[in-house]
Amino acid sequence: MAKVPTDLSGREVRSALERAGFVFRRQTGSHMILRRDDSHVRVVIPDHKQIRQGTLRRIIADAGVSVEQFRFLQLLKS
C-alpha cells in the first residue's frame, strides 16, 4: 500500500481529482463539493491549507481511485 501524501492543500486535492474527471459543483463554507457524472460519485473536500492524512485517505476512497492513481494525478500538474 502506497503512502498518502501529507503536505497537500484542499485546492491541490481538488485539482488532482479534476484531472480524474471530477467537476467542481459548489462550495458551502469551507467544503468543496466535486461530482463525477458517469458514475454519480460525490466527493467533499475541506478547503484547508493542509489536509490530514486520514481525511485524504477517505477522500481518495470515496473518489474510487487508488492511492497510486491519486499520486499519479497529483504529478500531472498542468
Residue 59 placed within a domain: yes
pTM, 2 dp: 0.90
Residue 29 placed within a domain: yes
Residue 41 C-alpha cell reads as: 460519485
User: pLDDT by residue (tens digit) across 42-69?
Assistant: 999 999 999 999 999 999 999 999 999 9
Range of the domain at 57: 23-75
Alpha carbons 20 and 22: distance in angstroms, whole number: 6
Can you give the CATH number for the domain in which 71 is found? 3.30.920.30
By the 8 A CB rule, do 55 and 10 touch?
no
Q: How far does the chain reach from its first CA to its final CA, in angstroms?
A: 27
Q: Is the dihedral of CA 12, 17, 21, 27 positive or negative?
A: negative
What domain count does the chain have? 1
Q: Which one, of 12, 1, 25, lies nearest residue 59 by Cα?
A: 12
Q: Is the pLDDT of residue 1 over 70?
A: no
Alpha carbons 21 and 19: distance in angstroms, whole number: 5
How much is the average pLDDT of 16-28? 94
How much is the average pLDDT of 3-22? 92
State the average pLDDT for the chain: 91
